[in-house]
Structure 1
Amino acid sequence: MGISLFVIALTTAMSAVAAESDSMAKLDEALKAVETFEHGKDSGPLNLVEKLVFESAKDAGLRGAVEQRIIRTLGSASTRDAKIFLCRQLRTIGTGRCVPQLEKLLTDPELSHMARYALGRIEDPAAAAAMRRALNKTSVKLQVGIINTLANRHYRQALPYFTILLRSPDSGVAEAAARALGRIGGAEAVKALESARRRASKTLAHRIDGALLICAEQFIAGGQKSEAARIYQKFYAPGQAEHFRLAGLRGLVAARGAQAAPLLVEAIKGTDPDLRQSAIEFMTIVKGRDATKTFVALLPSLPPDAQALVLRALGARGDSAAARAVSTATKSEHELVRVAALDALGGVGDASAVTLLALRAATGGDNEKKVARASLARLAGDDVDAALLRSIGMG
């Protein structure tokens, strides 16, 4: 019995070896044709190579042998079409072993893109290091592509090189370096961007501003809120373009949390309508009952249209601390304020709001009836259903 199992296992292993040997023989033959391939010629060998590459990607033992043959053929290939095809295969199965061969192509105007295409997928640090070395050897046109690929990999070791390239006389390279610094982020990148901005052209300065905002977002994500707030404060400063002021305000709210409530109040009370509307929208981001009380205290000082917007924002916050003020606003002489208050009551009210909403649903104007009924359906709380039944019984 044991001998039989051994024979079966041995036979299976020998068959696998024979199959692999046959596959490698077919691959070698196909790669000979690939060496001189040009578009318009028989693509059969290419199809076979692609098939074997795809299969080897799932077989660690086979992958190394296939990759080595692709590397060797890339070194001896004589046509552009052949090299492009082989680079594409290395993007699928390439490892650190193929980096030296691909690095040679990074300075070739016709093949640099495909070499980056392959290197960009290789996790081995040698791939990014090869692209970083090529930055000093390539034309400005190729530098942009390499910068972008390194930025996609968040290759922090390239930061000093990107900092230098911010001063490139070629606008495309300088702008690509700015974007890359933004994507990589961190204090070193921010320092480089802020320093370069002081002498940057208008177009480059715009790119740098965008990169700084991305850096600030990364600071927020990493919990470095004070660093983010410092950047956002500069963009929120008077005199900045409207879209930058809005970005700065949004960022300050994210960075400061509940402490941003007074900042939003200031913007809501200001004369800039776009800033006011955005500040009201940002009210939902700031959490806490103290912030709710701050926003409620603002209501009497606002014109009717702004009151309506703030009331809806209070409803969206869902904090019951606003319920009394919202109920009072349902008595406003302005219909848009009354309707907004009735809508907000569905978010901040409880069973005690049922009587008011039911009355307006029965006796209010058309808009008030519609909104009051919708708010009744949205009210939450253990006693709401009972209050609704009592209201129906009283009716």
Structure 2
Amino acid sequence: MMHTYKLIFLALAMLAQFAVADVWDELASFKGTTAKTAPPTVVEDLIVSTPADKMGPIEAKLIGIVTSPEATVEAKRFACRMLQRVGTETCVSAVQGLLGDAQMAHYARLVLERLPESAVAGDALVEALDSAADGAKAGILSSIGVRGDVRSTAAVAAYAGSDNAAHAAAALQALGMLGGEAARDALVAVDLSPSPALQATRDGALIVAADGLKDAKTLARIYGATKAEGVRMAALRALIRADEAQAVPIVSGLIAGEDSRVRNAALSALGRDGGAALTAAAVATLGTLPTDRKLVVIAVLGQRGDATAIPGIQAYVEAEDAAVGEAALMALAALGDGTTVPILLDYAEGSRKTAALEALQAMTHPTTNGSLIVELQNNDRSVAACDALARRAAKEAKPALKALTTHADPLVQRAAWSALGATATIADLDELMTQALSIEDAKTARMVYGCVRAVSAVATDKNACIEAVGRHYESADQYAKMFILDLAAAGGSSKGIEYAKSALASGDEKLYNKAVRSLAAWFEPGPAIGELLNLARNAPEEKNRILALRGYLTLAGKEQNATKALKWLKDGRELVQRAEDKRLLIAGTDRGKNHKLIELIYGYTEDAEVSAE
């Protein structure tokens, strides 16, 4: 079946070529348009739809355009752009003929540049050098350099000392790209005394060539001889790669030096180049640096990623300057893996506790959480490990943390429950509530409730959260019921209203009062508003009527829908007597120029207690 599809596809492609047979004639006279039916657009679509091994006829048509004396310049340029995509060695001869044309040389050389495996294409560029127009020579030299064919080195070197500065610069740069000993030697040998402005260009090219050869001698000479800062730093970075031992004292001196520009360049090199020797040298400079520079070098060593710096950096964790200690901890976190975790945990038990925990939180190595879970079993580190796992919200730590909740040490218990609050999810709430209700010790039970509260606080599905907790409401004791009411109010979901209603009907004065307070503090207006208005009118005790009314007015004032807010505030307006309640009503009408809301408070303009509001 797949073979049949391929045959159909190829047939369609061939038909497409016949269908656009006359487009090639139109392309030859093309002078530019963006219309979708323009010949270039049709040809590009044809190329896209033709399999790579069937491009021969298309290449032949493009060659015909390139060699046609009648074809327009625009057509030939377009044909060259397409040959950059589909051309093979077959088109080299035709394209070579354009290298002497000032209008076409740029487009032609790019075709040959994109045939890096073709020696014929490389020879064509070299052969065209002497006869090409002056304006085309620099581009041809650049294409030779990009191709990297070292056979072209001598031909390029002949232009490195040219009186034409553009040709000389292009040749110097091409020699650097070609690389190899012959190109390096040609760069060294060129006499630039007539063109001193090209010295930086030659040095840059020589750095590239010497870098490829790992020629430390040449690189060191350039670094010592040139005054151009950019060139010096490029030579230094290449020297680090070529001979790190030779570069180390130079980098150390720059880091400790007073010139901020070269110091920053050296730090940039430290961040990206070299190995353990350069790392050790940078660590050694720390003891000689003032605090501000010490902080920078420690940070760069952390970014460098060489773990051999860890022992040296660790020595600064207890530095007198707290900023240095904190920087050292963050660098350890950046460099470390699971084996660094115990080191950081030890500091998390001391004066650097906050910084150490922040460092543990910042660690990205994949073994970090596993190491922290192992350290939960170490009595000296278990509390700090709990704190770190909590900060990292490490879900995989839940089983180990649950096991620690029965630890003999109350501090470990508390830390474990706190960490569970950061790692558990809604799916764990039912089990946690069951456990809380089964614990007789009030202090321990409250730790579990704290865990439940933490999970609920970050849960996105408030209804699912209160449903998981609320299913324990009827079997809960008074404390647990009050706790559930708190959660329901904080979540503000409609699901929690049924527990508030149950508390109001319970006959338990404490539960009743708690329900009123919870409804008054409900997070979302809609679910609680009706119950609050009823309580404001009918609660037996005045204190609860006052509390319910204030909660009602506050929630009504928060309602974003002005129509709903107006109705609710109107419904409660008759109950507003106290100055504080009037202020809440006034605040609820503060919605710009909504005259219907403003009408609710007209009567207060003559009220001495609130007229100023």
Normalised by the size of structure 2, how large is the TM-score?
0.51
CA-CA distance at 1:144 after TM superposition: 1.4
Provide Cα deviations, 1:207-244, integer angstroms capped at 9, x if missing partner: 11221222234x1xxxx43x1x2233123327633333
1:97 to 68, 73, 90: 90
Tell me, what secondary structure is at the counterpart of 1:274?
Answer: helix
Match of 2:347 in 1: 356
CA distance 1:340–1:140, change in 2 (3 Å): same
CA-CA distance at 1:133 after TM superposition: 0.9
Say whether the 8 Å CA contact 2:316–2:325 is kept in structure 1.
Answer: no
CA-CA distance at 1:52 after TM superposition: 4.4
Match of 1:132 in 2: 126
CA distance 1:200–1:162, change in 2 (3 Å): farther
Give the whole-Å Cα distance in 2 for the aligned partners of 1:18 and 1:321.
68
CA distance 1:137–1:324, change in 2 (3 Å): closer
**Matched residue type, 2:259:** D
CA-CA distance at 1:107 after TM superposition: 0.9
**Matched residue type, 2:67:** G
Say whether the 8 Å CA contact 1:67–1:93 is kept in structure 2.
Answer: yes
Q: Which has the higher contact order (CA 8 A, sep 6+)?
A: 1
Say whether the 8 Å CA contact 1:144–1:172 is kept in structure 2.
Answer: yes
1:321 to 289, 311, 328: 311
Tell me, what secondary structure is at the counterpart of 1:326?
Answer: coil
Match of 2:202 in 1: 208
Match of 1:304 in 2: 291
Match of 2:55 in 1: 63
Aligned length: 364
CA distance 1:388–1:275, change in 2 (3 Å): farther
Match of 1:176 in 2: 170
Provide Cα deviations, 1:291-335, integer angstroms capped at 9, x if missing partner: 6665554433333333333444455543343265224xx242x44
CA distance 1:113–1:313, change in 2 (3 Å): closer
Say whether the 8 Å CA contact 1:305–1:336 is kept in structure 2.
Answer: no
Listed as ranges, the gaps of 5+ residues in structure 1 are 1-8, 363-368
Say whether the 8 Å CA contact 1:260–1:286 is kept in structure 2.
Answer: no
**Matched residue type, 1:76:** S
Listed as ranges, the gaps of 5+ residues in structure 2 are 388-410, 416-613
Match of 1:121 in 2: 114
1:233 to 220, 231, 235: 220
Give the whole-Å Cα distance in 1 for the aligned partners of 2:27 and 2:201.
43
Give the whole-Å Cα distance in 2 for the aligned partners of 1:19 and 1:358.
73
2:260 to 258, 273, 276: 273
Say whether the 8 Å CA contact 2:172–2:202 is kept in structure 1.
Answer: yes
Say whether the 8 Å CA contact 2:236–2:247 is kept in structure 1.
Answer: no
CA-CA distance at 1:169 after TM superposition: 1.5
Give the whole-Å Cα distance in 1 for the aligned partners of 2:27 and 2:137.
29
Tell me, what secondary structure is at the counterpart of 1:176?
Answer: helix
Say whether the 8 Å CA contact 1:357–1:375 is kept in structure 2.
Answer: no
Give the whole-Å Cα distance in 2 for the aligned partners of 1:189 and 1:134.
20
Say whether the 8 Å CA contact 1:168–1:174 is kept in structure 2.
Answer: yes
CA distance 1:356–1:200, change in 2 (3 Å): farther
Match of 1:75 in 2: 67
Give the whole-Å Cα distance in 2 for the aligned partners of 1:90 and 1:295.
52
Say whether the 8 Å CA contact 1:326–1:344 is kept in structure 2.
Answer: no
Tell me, what secondary structure is at the counterpart of 2:316?
Answer: helix
Say whether the 8 Å CA contact 1:148–1:176 is kept in structure 2.
Answer: yes
Tell me, what secondary structure is at the counterpart of 2:130?
Answer: coil
Match of 1:5 in 2: none
Tell me, what secondary structure is at the counterpart of 1:168?
Answer: coil
Cα-Cα RMSD: 3.9
Give the whole-Å Cα distance in 2 for the aligned partners of 1:306 and 1:314.
12
> How do 1:370-389 and structure 2 match up within 5 A?
371-377=355-361, 384-385=375-376, 386=378, 387-389=380-382
**Structure 2 residue 180 is matched with structure 1 residue 196:** no
Provide Cα deviations, 1:233-277, integer angstroms capped at 9, x if missing partner: 123327633333332332222223467544433333334333344
Say whether the 8 Å CA contact 1:182–1:212 is kept in structure 2.
Answer: yes
Give the whole-Å Cα distance in 1 for the aligned partners of 2:153 and 2:32.
40
Say whether the 8 Å CA contact 2:204–2:231 is kept in structure 1.
Answer: no
Normalised by the size of structure 1, how large is the TM-score?
0.75
> How do 1:284-299 and structure 2 match up within 5 A?
285-288=273-276, 294-299=281-286
CA distance 1:231–1:357, change in 2 (3 Å): farther
Provide Cα deviations, 1:85-121, integer angstroms capped at 9, x if missing partner: 4334433433222222222221112222232233333
**Matched residue type, 2:157:** T
2:24 to 24, 31, 34: 31
1:254 to 225, 241, 246: 241
Provide Cα deviations, 1:165-214, integer angstroms capped at 9, x if missing partner: 11222111111111111111111111112222642523311211221222
CA-CA distance at 1:82 after TM superposition: 3.5
CA-CA distance at 1:32 after TM superposition: 3.8
Give the whole-Å Cα distance in 1 for the aligned partners of 2:298 and 2:375.
22
Give the whole-Å Cα distance in 2 for the aligned partners of 1:193 and 1:180.
10
Say whether the 8 Å CA contact 1:326–1:345 is kept in structure 2.
Answer: no
CA distance 1:131–1:27, change in 2 (3 Å): farther
Say whether the 8 Å CA contact 2:150–2:180 is kept in structure 1.
Answer: no
